[in-house]
A and B are shown apart, each in its own frame.
Chain A
Amino acid sequence: MLPLLSIAVFLPLLGALILMMLPHKTARLAHGISIATTGLTFLVTLAIWARGIEPGGFAQVEEISWIPAIGAAYRLGIDGLSLPLILLTSLLFLLSSIYSARVSERPAVYVVLMLMLETASIGTFAALDALLFYVFFEVSLVSMYFMIIGWGYEDRQRAGLMFFLYTLLGSLPLLLAILGMFLGSDPYTFDMRTWIDTPPLSGLAAMLAMIAMVFTFAVKIPSFPVHTWLPAAHVQAPTVGSVILAGVMLKFGTYGLVRFALQMTPEAFRDAGLVILAFGVFSALYGAFVALAQSDLKKLIAYTSVNHMGYVVIGVAVASLTLDPGLRAVALDGATLQMVSHGLVTGALFFLVGMLQDRAHTRGMDEFGGLLKVVPMLGWAFVISAFASLGLPGLAHFPAEFQIFLATLSIQPWAIVAILAIVVTAGLYLRAISRVFMGETNEKWLKMPDLDRRELMVVVPLLILIVLVGVAPSWLLDMIHTTMAALKF
């Protein structure tokens, strides 16, 4: 049996190393290697999908001893929570490297950073060893930081610094919690499977560890009130940076919320469930209302991420508050599907805004108008993605949010107020569409070219998947449900 997971994790790094070794790094060569590597990685993750998962526990586990003296090992494995996210990650990186084939400023370094980021991202989702998870989790920060300060927009130095310090401060409590659980396990181990099967902490220690972990992941998600790094980082990051940040790295937070906080300290999580739920509800509403006030398209999408991730938090929180395994599975299925949908939809939206910015060098929605007539393909792609983002039935967010709200209604009916946020996002997207794509055509943009072949190759797969997940989510949901229905805590 080929160790497919390890291959998927380290193939991008190998590509980066090969690129670094080569003597003449032309832009063509760099982007060629980038597309080939991410493409191969995508195929490998498809093969992992084909091998499948098992209900209860982890599948395709790979284990090599690393630091046996402290029970740390190289352990990888997947289940119905991590596999969809790994597939999403490898897809978004492939599309990102196609999109960035035009980057001409120090392309080799750019590609190396992006490939390192892919290794870190897939590694984060696949790691079954807490120390290894932490390593991947932090390496992703470093790569993203250099990406923002190297290729971002006007105020990138400050935004990059804020992003790095904020998320590092955010992730250190997780390290404390990991150390606490390590010292609580007997014999000492960093094996996440052991921690999930027999939670190592209880009582006050578990509560403190849970708070530390929820804090870390709340920063990453980001949830109110620790979301303030997100708009700055998103607005200043290069387009691909925003796509990866929103599509992949925010999922570290929601993934960790389920994998660590919910699964490793289940009782403490249940005790604090109502508080976490309240934060989720507030975050969802808050993100929507703040997004309503934005005129910068990138900021607008960034804040809708706060809103969408709020729904995920709601789903996870209500799942912890019920003892009915059926309902719990519904909530967690919805939350997990929401992570994937958000990656697809927000990825598409950031790509489209980036394409608009490449043409117009501005993102202010008041400076456009009537673009649907000038660039119909870009316009319609944006309209579809925006409709998906506001939760229109038949598009990707609908089945996810439907399940989350269904579970919420049966478990904590008051929390359904979060549904108001859907009305707000509908309003703000319709406003954005009308300002940018409808109405009077601004003279300046009459010669704007429509999407070219490279850009279509990036956007069309995402649009197809958005519709596919919306219309027939079962191919994805079945996989998620296999694991979620078998969760015991």
Chain B
Amino acid sequence: MARDLSYLFPEMTLSMAVVFMLLAEMVRMPRLALAFGLVGLALATGLTLPLLDVNTSVFSGTYRIDDLSTWAKLILLPGTAFSLVLARAELAGKDREGSVYSLICLVTLGALMLSGAGDMMLLVLGVVLTGLGSFALVAYPRDDAATEAAMKFLVFGAVTGAVMIYGLTFWFGGAGSTLFSELGNMRGGSLVMVAGLVATIVGLGYKAALVPFHFWAPDAYDGAPISVAAYLSVITKIAAIFAFAQVLRDLPLETGWPLIIALISAVTMTLGYLAALVQTNLVRLLAYSSIAQSGYFLLGIVAVGSNTLALQSVIVFGAAYVAMNLGAFAMVMVVGRSLDDFKGFGRHMPVAGVAMVILLLSLAGIPPLFGFVGKVLLFGAAIDAGFTWLAVIAILNSVLALAVYLRIIVPMYQQPEDGAASVTATKQPLLTLVWVVTAVVTLIMGLAAEVLL
């Protein structure tokens, strides 16, 4: 038991931080709550470092301490810290500010559980923990849009969650255990296998916003504060993708699950980008683009059963995605929600303009940026697993992706019609911090991706 606990220092630190954050919020000291959160996240990140290269599991195999879960911490904890900074920039001085910070950290705790899940019960726990906090976060503004968004999000989550739990009971019955590692000893024929697989895809597909479980995402992101949208679009999504990897790498390949995931991947990226192509609201555009990016993640997931490149590619692309997407959302907070707000922005603020171009081109997968390295590894993993056709579709989608992101870049360098007056950018130091760091990471890590392999 003591041995097990020593592997859980990061999670315990984060839980303690959440408790202190709630206490600080109770006495109406949101800045203290923020401080607790940032310190807690930093400490937890530091405590994760000794776990690199550890490959074990705790609590009778239900919770895994492996490459995937360790890297999830190293990616998600700093990502959460930047989300807190974004939230502070957006919500400073507003009512219930501190509860947003504590909820964000609580959802991250659930995200860590998802990415380390080695057992069905823990998977459900992770889904519920991330879900409950997220609903409240989306509803934060208490206006009609936010309430509607949260309601949609909640109903969707409740239904998919129920389907997931119901389906997972089939796996439990078939394998006689809730451990993923027992999935290979399944009895009861293909129906049992399929029921559980469908359940997993429904539950996690909802979390990762895969087509056809993506409908909530654009509304939820648009109704929520932008910082919360940024947070949900990266942290819970990556947690769900990593959970997919944890489940599916124990599932025998003979069930044919890679093909199903591959089909979902193809549909998700294509529909995501096609829908993004017609958006004029930047938050919705980025929502659809992040749906499409989940499709790219699945390129690695289809290969988790066949090669080791798959896990590496998912980790690298996960890190890249956190940086690119948080940066792009931060830039939306700087400039504005509408595509028209970006007109002339690149001429008005050249440095920020270059940063935005870097972030968007990286999202499109242009070398030598971070997103490109991640995508190359994903393509390689998929081809190696025999899914060349999927890589071809992904590559064709890259062109669509470029068209989507160029829709933002092109107006940035047009002359604004009535002088510089139309550019209404807010220069907040906190936001500047986020976009500078994410853009630099996107640029540098493209060349130094080695440290993640």
Q: Which residues of A contact B (CB under 8 A)?
A: 66-70, 109, 131, 134-135, 138-139, 141-142, 146, 149-150, 157, 161, 164-165, 168-169, 172-173, 175-176, 179-180, 182-183
Contact = CB atoms under 8 A, between A and B. Distances in A.
Interface string B394-416: 01101100110010001001100
A332 B114 CA distance: 58
B450 A67 contact: yes
Interface string B337-374: 00000000000001000000000010000111000110
B391 interface: yes
25 contacts: A67-B449, A68-B450, A69-B312, A69-B450, A135-B367, A138-B366, A138-B367, A138-B372, A141-B366, A142-B366, A149-B410, A161-B406, A161-B410, A164-B402, A164-B406, A165-B399, A165-B402, A168-B398, A168-B399, A169-B396, A173-B395, A175-B376, A176-B391, A179-B376, A179-B391
Contacts of A67: 373, 449-450, 453
B379 A176 contact: yes
Nearest to B364: A168
Contacts of B410: 149, 157, 161
B386 to A, nearest CB: 11
Contacts of A179: 376, 379-380, 383, 391
Interface string B317-351: 00000000000000000000000000000000010
Contacts, number: 75
Interface in B263-311: 309
A172 B399 contact: yes
B377 interface: yes
Chain A interface helix/strand/loop/mixed: helix
B32 to A, nearest CB: 40
B392 interface: yes
A172 B395 contact: yes
A210 B453 CA distance: 30
Nearest to A66: B450
A183 B453 contact: no
B4 interface: no
Contacts of B143: none
Nearest to B392: A176
A173 B394 CA distance: 11
Contact of A180 (B350, B383, B396): B383
A70 B377 contact: yes
Contacts of B450: 66-69
B368 A139 contact: yes
Given A69-B453, A139-B367, A172 B396 contact: yes
Given A142-B366, A172-B398, A165 B403 contact: yes
B95 interface: no
B453 A150 contact: no
A66 B450 CA distance: 7
Nearest to B446: A135
Nearest to A183: B384
B380 A182 contact: yes
Contacts of B361: 142
A311 to B, nearest CB: 30
Nearest to B380: A179
Nearest to B407: A161
B171 to A, nearest CB: 33
Contacts of B391: 176, 179
Contacts of A142: 361, 366
A179 B380 CA distance: 6
B361 to A, nearest CB: 7
Nearest to B382: A179
B367 A169 contact: no
B140 to A, nearest CB: 38
Contacts of B413: 146, 149-150
Contacts of A164: 402, 406
A161 B403 CA distance: 8
A182 B372 CA distance: 16
A183 B376 contact: no
Contacts of B366: 138-139, 141-142, 168
A179 B392 CA distance: 11
Contacts of B398: 168, 172
A69 B395 CA distance: 23
B379 A175 contact: yes
Contacts of B384: 183
A248 B262 CA distance: 40
Contacts of B447: 66
A138 B402 CA distance: 13
Contacts of A175: 376, 379, 395
A385 B215 CA distance: 61
Nearest to A137: B367
B367 A168 contact: no
A70 B378 CA distance: 13
A69 B315 CA distance: 14
A173 to B, nearest CB: 7
Contacts of B373: 67
B395 A183 contact: no
A149 B412 CA distance: 11
Contacts of B376: 131, 175, 179
Q: Which of A67, A68, A150, A180 has the most chain B CB within a 10 Å cutoff? A: A67
B329 to A, nearest CB: 23
Contacts of B309: 70
Contacts of A182: 380
Contact of B368 (A69, A135, A146, A161): A135
A157 B395 CA distance: 24
A220 to B, nearest CB: 15
Given A149-B410, A176-B388, 7 more contacts: A139-B366, A157-B414, A161-B406, A168-B366, A173-B395, A175-B395, A179-B380
Contacts of A141: 366
A66 B350 CA distance: 31
Nearest to A205: B388
B396 A168 contact: no
Contacts of A173: 395
Nearest to B350: A109
Contacts of B380: 70, 179, 182-183
Nearest to B414: A157
Q: Which of A141, A146, A172 has the most chain B CB within a 10 Å cutoff? A: A172
Contacts of A168: 366, 398-399, 402
A169 B453 contact: no
The 10 A-B pairs at the shortest CB distance, nearest first, are namely: A69-B453, A135-B367, A172-B395, A135-B368, A169-B399, A138-B367, A67-B450, A179-B380, A183-B384, A179-B383
Contacts of A183: 380, 383-384
Contacts of A139: 366-368
Nearest to A108: B350
A168 B367 CA distance: 11
Q: Which of B384, B399, B414 has the most chain A CB within a 10 Å cutoff? A: B399
Interface in B418-453: 447, 449-450, 453
Nearest to B361: A142
Nearest to B402: A168
Contacts of A169: 396, 399
B172 to A, nearest CB: 38
A142 B354 CA distance: 12
A271 B40 CA distance: 64
Contacts of A149: 410, 413
B58 to A, nearest CB: 28
B453 A70 contact: yes
Contacts of B399: 165, 168-169, 172
A69 B316 CA distance: 13
Interface string B243-265: 00000000000000000000000
A378 B379 CA distance: 52
Contacts of B379: 175-176, 179
Contacts of A161: 403, 406, 410
A176 B312 CA distance: 19
